[in-house]
Amino acid sequence: MEIESNINEKFVELLKEKNLKAATAESLTGGLVSKRITEISGASQVFECGVCSYSNRIKHELLGVPSDVLETYTEYSSQTAESMAIGIRRLSGADIGISTTGMAGPTGDNVGLVYIGISTEKHTFSKELHLSEGLPDEREKIRFLASCYALYYALEEIENGK
């Protein structure tokens, strides 16, 4: 799959066209998805909020990720990504919730393991990605690619109208 460099522009334009609003809950990307959306002129018409939910406490208390999900599957899981996307959509009242969680490294097991969560009123899903190439200093590359994929999957969901 090839992700276009202007995917954030396409995302904002499609939200405007369909009169929809988005919100983000980011762990791995630390606000990068929100930044990419809000750097587009007119994003204020379609972007409700972004939450940087780096800690499990915030994932649980603010976004409503069940503690048993965090304990059983960890914060690096499809279950957590989906719960985060549902939680931000409900918290913000947005039409689509987007979440990111995973391991950007450089230390730890499973560096490059990323989960993207997407939630609409009709459909919630997550995607598991493996973005590490085993190279040193790829943290920022993993985070950037995760933000691209998050926008791509959200755009695809809106276009397919599920």
Q: What is the mean pLDDT of each run of 10 residues along the chain (162 residues)?
A: 77 97 98 97 97 97 98 98 98 98 93 98 97 93 97 96 64
pLDDT, residue 4, reads 64
For the domain spanning 7-160, the CATH number is 3.90.950.20
Other C-beta atoms closer than 10 Å to the C-beta of 106 total: 13
Task: Confirm whether pTM is higher than 0.85.
Answer: yes
**Domain-wise residue ranges, the chain:** 7-160
Buried b (16+ CB within 10 A) or exposed e, 119-153: bbeeebbbeebebbeeeeebbeebbbbbbbbbbbb
- Contact (Cβ atoms closer than 8 angstroms) between residue 142 and residue 108: no
Q: Tokens standing for 16?
A: 């405007």
Pairing of strands 124-130, 113-120: antiparallel
pLDDT, residue 2, reads 54
For the segment 88-110, what is each residue's pLDDT rounded down to a tens digit? 999 999 999 999 999 999 988 89
What's the rounded Cα separation, in Å, for the pair 15 and 46?
Answer: 6
